[in-house]
Structure formats: C-alpha cells, structure tokens
Amino acid sequence: MRGQPININPVAARRAGCAGCLGIVGFVGFILWMTMFSNTCARMLGQETYPFKSDTRHLDPFAALVEVRARVGKNAHLTQIRATFVRSDGTMDLNADYKPGPHVTYTFQVPLDKAPENAPPIGAGGGPDKQYVQQVDVDCFQPGQRRSVSKISGNSRTSYSYTNEGMDFYRHTATMAKLDPDIGEPKISTQDLWKIALTKGAPKDSVAGIDFDVNGYEFRIRDTKVRFQCDPSGKLKE
C-alpha cells in the first residue's frame, strides 16, 4: 500500500527557510557584536589587540615584523623573535586547530621620553644617568581566542574578557635598565633556514621552532636531531 502524498506549502517552506537563514545571520551578527563590544571595553581598560593585514594561515614570522613594529611605537628596540611550528615553506598557520598551536612572540624594549609619575627621585634610587625602559611583548596566536584578564591595583580589582585579533600586546611596567641594541631586521629568511634544515635531513612535513636574537638564529625540530645555529649575518655555525 502506497503512502499518501505529502503536500508541502511552498509559502510556508520559504518562510521557514528565511527564518532559518535569519537565525544564522542573527547568531553570527551577535558573535561579531559581542567581539567588537568586548574588545571596545577591553581597549578602554588598556588592552591592545590588533588584526594582521597578512594572511594568518600563511604568516611569515620574519616578514610580519613590519606590521608588528608599526604597532609598538617609535624608537622601539627589537630584542628577540621566537616562533613555533614554522612549516617548510617558512610560514605558520595561526588558525591551526591542533593544541598547542603555532605562536610567535616579538620582544621589544621601548625607551621612555620621561620617567613615570611614581619614579623615585635622585637620592632614592633615581638618577640623571639612568633610563626608564618598558618591555613590550607581542604575542601572536590564533585569532578568535577568548582571553580573561584580572588586574589588581591597590584595593581594587578589574576583570574583563576580550577576543584576540591576531597580535596581543603586553606592556610591562617601566623599569630603570640598560637599553639593549636593536637587533634590526633578519638577514636570512625562514625559508633559507629551512633549506639548511632539509640538507640536514629534516622531514619536509614537520614544523620547526625558530629564534632570532642578538646572537643570531636557532633552528630546531622537536623529537628529531635537527638543530643548528647561524650567526647574525646568517652564516651557519659549525
């Protein structure tokens, strides 16, 4: 026995479809609104997070330095770059789903034009020959990650949440310190470092950690014997 034919009201079907689409659009809009609203509030409290113009699925940690420097401020001295999970094409996928995910940190020192308001006077630790320096760490990781912050100042506590947009800034409390020299722009690319690694037997489908500082470059692949260093000019250290 055949079943009875089912009559579908085309108007009702269209209305249901539109309602479903509106629901999806509304949900996405709500998420975007919450992200913008929470980040606006967080920025008012001093939190800094910025998006990359570069493709975060193919981010070259050395090439992206230009974008990061532009956000740090003038006269900033770069002291270190630490990148994890760099692929053999020299790029990182900050949007990768695996945990822990690709991550790159840029460390700067910023000389202050004047001492902080709470700086000690001469005779109590201060001095005309001492310079106030602020360390700035720029952590770059998966855009869209939520972060919670709790700050204590005196007898008050401030708590808020925000969404990482790509670059996440942390400006440390300024201290009296010797300003380290700016290590400048990398003289060798991440692709060039990978070319050296491949000659040393590095698996092409693996990911590497790459550091750049005043001593030069260090390349390593975890769980393998592939590890080497280059001097600041990019020459391989034997």
Residue 33: pLDDT band with limits 50, 70, 90 = very low
What burial class does residue 82 get, using C-beta atoms within 10 Å of its C-beta: 0-12 exposed, 13-18 middle, 19+ buried?
A: middle
Res. 28: pLDDT tops 70: no
Of the chain, the percentage scoring pLDDT greater than 70 comes to: 71
Residue 16 DSSP one-character state: H
Give residue 126's pLDDT. 58
Chain position carrying tokens 């026995």: 1
Contact between 172 and 55 under an 8 Å Cβ cutoff? The reply is no
Contact between 166 and 52 under an 8 Å Cβ cutoff? The reply is yes
Q: How far is 91 from 207, CA to CA, in rounded Å?
A: 10
Give residue 183's pLDDT. 97
First and final C-alpha spacing in the chain = 84
Spatial CA neighbour of 194 closest among 185, 183, 205: 205
Give residue 127's pLDDT. 59
Q: Specify the 3-state DSSP secondary structure of 192.
A: helix
Residue 120 DSSP one-character state: P
pLDDT digits (tens, 9 = 90+) for 128-173: 556 889 999 999 999 998 887 776 666 667 777 888 999 999 999 8
Q: Specify the 3-state DSSP secondary structure of 13.
A: helix
Of the given ranges (44-58, 147-161, 168-182), which has the lowest mean pLDDT? 147-161
